[in-house]
Amino acid sequence: MVQPGSRRLPVTEEIAGSNPVARAVKKTVLEIYGWYGFIAVLVAYFLANFRIISVISPIYIFLNITGATGITIISFYKKAYQPAVLNLVWVAIALVALFSLLGGTLQ
């Protein structure tokens, strides 16, 4: 809990403390996952549009879930809320598709 008159630390400092190496590692890991997300969503889109894979294939769904999650995390970290919310919805849709695929309702 933040006391009145006290300064709230940014999320990076709260998690990594005052250790600059830990902060740098955390930032690097988040950036890598964000770039992975970008690449995964783009690859899924490319593969589906050129009919290399089906939009109901597990690979397509996996790339969308993990990719959109990466974009969501880096967007929240950078306080870019519009792409974060868009990709949360993207993840939700992909999860519904995954559960439908596993349940046999997608064919």
Residue 17 scores a pLDDT above 70: no
pTM of the model as a whole:
0.80
DSSP the chain: -PPTTPPPPPHHHHHHTT-HHHHHHHHHHHHHHHHHHHHHHHHHHHHHHTTSS-TTSHHHHHHHHHHHHHHHHHHHHTT-HHHHHHHHHHHHHHHHHHHHHHHT---
pLDDT digits (tens, 9 = 90+) for 25-44: 999 999 999 999 999 999 99
Tell me the pLDDT of the chain averaged across its residues. Answer: 89
